[in-house]
Amino acid sequence: MRLFLKLFLSHLLVALLALLLLLLLAEAFAPAFYRGHVERMLHALSMMGGGMMGEALRRDLEEGLRSTLTAALLAALPLAALGALLTASFASLRLARTARLLAEGSRRMAEGEYGVRLPLLERDELGELALHFNRLAEALEKVEKTRAELIGTVAHELRTPLAALQGYAEGLMDGVLSKEKAAEGILREVKAMRRLVEDLSLVSRVEAKAVEIRPKPLDPKGLLEEALARFQSAFQAKGVALSLEAQDPLPQVWADEERVLQVLANLLTNALRHTPQGGEVRLRAFRQGEAVAFQVADTGPGIPEEHLPHIFERFYRVDKARSRKEGGSGVGLTVAKGLVEAMGGRIFVESRVGEGTTFTFTLPLYTGLTLKG
């Protein structure tokens, strides 16, 4: 209420001062104006021989004008004051209401209640202020949700290797495991923990657009052949076929070789994880306008349509239980999207339940005029 009182009194004071100034100006200038008019009348009257009567008439007219003007202004003052009161009340209530809502919303947000939203009561700057407040609250709510998911994901992913490390250590102390066996298991779990840390570090840098990109002319088919060579044994071990199809010839692309292979590795790892034994994953590359499109298509179970818009979000899982069981950290597709966009391309997904999923990303062509950096 303090802001309301300040605004109300300031508006009311301005209105009353304006009325007072009007009264003073009317008292000061109106008689002089009419005096000139009366003087001209008296001059004409004196020319007709009525000097004393004219002077009395002048004084009577001036006095009558002043009293009439004063009475009229005083009579209008209550109505003007009421108008000023209503105007000041409306403006003050409007501003104070928005300020009160902002103060209450800010207090609740400071206490961690990020779901608070302000009603959009106005269609002016105050309404825009409330709209921006809501957007800020929405952004903070998303950040808080992501933070909670990050903590939950890290805790879950670290629980398994930590439990395994504890088991190997206890087995070594009790003499149940040999030093070589324990060392092998400990090293394997440490590598898993390091991989998780590296994934989380990379996704943070990708989202902050702080990943260094060193582009150069690259052969698309050569990139697919390199990716196929790296993953061929893993696919054979699971009994999933891995094939390559590429247009010939294909123009060179302008990209970072290490990052392109990292994108392909993430997509192939995802495809291998979700393709059952006896299935197939196909690597493709073809010209698409001023870019080359790369595809990783699998014959897995597919992704339900409602999940497709969120598939590149950090830690988003279509099947949480299955993903965690098979070791996915939930950031591979987020990293792939960030890297592709950092190299000037785009990535998208198409999927049908029961038929499989196809990830496609594009990279710009090398024109020979592109400057490094």
What one-character-per-residue DSSP string does 188-214 give? Answer: HHHHHHHHHHHHHHHHHHHHTT-----
pLDDT tens column, 346-369: 999 999 998 999 999 999 999 876
Which pTM does this prediction carry? 0.59
Domains and CATH numbers, the chain: 2-110 (no CATH), 125-207 (1.10.287.130), 216-364 (3.30.565.10)
Q: How far is CA 154 from CA 147, 157, 244, 307, in A?
A: 11, 5, 35, 23
Q: What phi, psi does 29 have (nearest 5°)? A: -100, -30
- Whole-angstrom distance, CA of residue 46 vs CA of residue 7: 58
Q: Where are the alpha helices (DSSP H) in the chain?
A: 2-46, 51-110, 125-174, 179-207, 220-238, 257-274, 320-325, 332-342
Residue 29 CA to residue 37 CA, distance in Å, equals 13
For 307-359, what is each residue's pLDDT tens digit? 898 888 876 776 654 444 454 567 889 889 999 999 999 999 999 998 999 99
Q: Report the distance separating Cα 242 and Cα 236, nearest Å.
A: 8
Give the mean model confidence (pLDDT) for residues 137-144: 84
Give the range with max mean pLDDT: 179-183, 188-192, 258-262: 258-262
Name the DSSP class of 366.
P
Amino acid code (one letter) for 265: A
> What pLDDT shows up at residue 177?
85
- Residue partners of 4: CB distance under 8 A and separation at least 6: 92, 93, 95, 96
Q: What is the pLDDT of residue 325?
A: 43
- Average pLDDT over all residues of the chain: 80
In degrees, to the nearest 5, what angle opens at C-alpha 273 toward C-alphas 327 and 277?
Answer: 130
Q: What is the mean pLDDT of residues 173-194?
A: 86
What is the distance between the alpha carbons of residues 206 and 311, in angstroms, rounded to a whole number?
16
Element (H, E) at 360: strand 356-364
> DSSP 3-state assignment of 283?
strand
